[in-house]
């Protein structure tokens, strides 16, 4: 598994806040800055633990699973997260945002997306 999170850094943005947002969403991810982009990358599945915890507590696992399945192609799925919400540690899907998005790609077989989203929290009947 490979997790990639990247965000364009706009001139009016604070680099530390964008880096902090990616690290807050995906603890343990390695972050680097290249040109005007902040890039986080990891092959450790535990980087997604916070993602699973947050979407579980907000009861939006079905929504995230649907998005990840819909966006899956050639072994990679993706989602765009609202960058501003991410600075507060929130996972909110963004279609567009004037401040840009955090684009997240996850290399994963399609048949493993359900387990990645639901993890060890049980079957679909669990809240």
Q: What is the pTM of this model?
A: 0.89
Judge whether residue 33 has pLDDT over 50.
yes
For the beta carbon of residue 73, count every other beta carbon within 10 angstroms: 9
Check if the beta carbon of residue 7 is closer than 8 Å to that of residue 100. yes
What pLDDT does 124 receive? Answer: 40
- Whether 48 contacts 65, CB under 8 Å: no
Of 117, 102, 80, whose CA–CA distance to 7 is shortest?
102
In the three-class reduction of DSSP (H, G, I as helix; E, B as strand; rest coil), residue 23 is classed as helix
Strand ranges (E), 22-90: 30-34, 37-42, 76-82
pLDDT tens per residue across span 98-111: 778 999 999 999 99
Instruction: Give all domains of the chain, ordered by start, each with its CATH number.
Output: 2-121 (3.30.1440.10)
Q: What's the confidence (pLDDT) of residue 98? A: 72
Q: Apex CA 78: angle with CA 51 and CA 2, to 5°? A: 70
Strand partners, 45: none
What CA–CA distance (Å, rounded) separates 57 from 34? 34
């Amino acid at each position: 598994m490979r997790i990639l999170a990247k965000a364009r850094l706009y001139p009016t943005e604070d680099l530390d806040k964008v880096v902090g947002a990616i690290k807050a969403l995906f603890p343990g991810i390695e972050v680097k800055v290249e040109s005007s982009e902040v890039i986080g990358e990891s092959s450790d599945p535990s980087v997604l633990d916070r993602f699973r915890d947050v979407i579980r507590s907000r009861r939006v696992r079905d929504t995230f699973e649907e998005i990840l399945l819909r966006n899956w192609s050639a072994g990679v799925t993706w989602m765009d997260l609202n960058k501003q919400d991410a600075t507060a540690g929130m996972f909110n899907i963004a279609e567009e945002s004037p401040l840009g998005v955090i684009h997240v790609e996850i290399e994963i077989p399609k048949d493993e997306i359900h387990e990645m989203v639901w993890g060890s929290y049980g079957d679909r009947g669990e809240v």
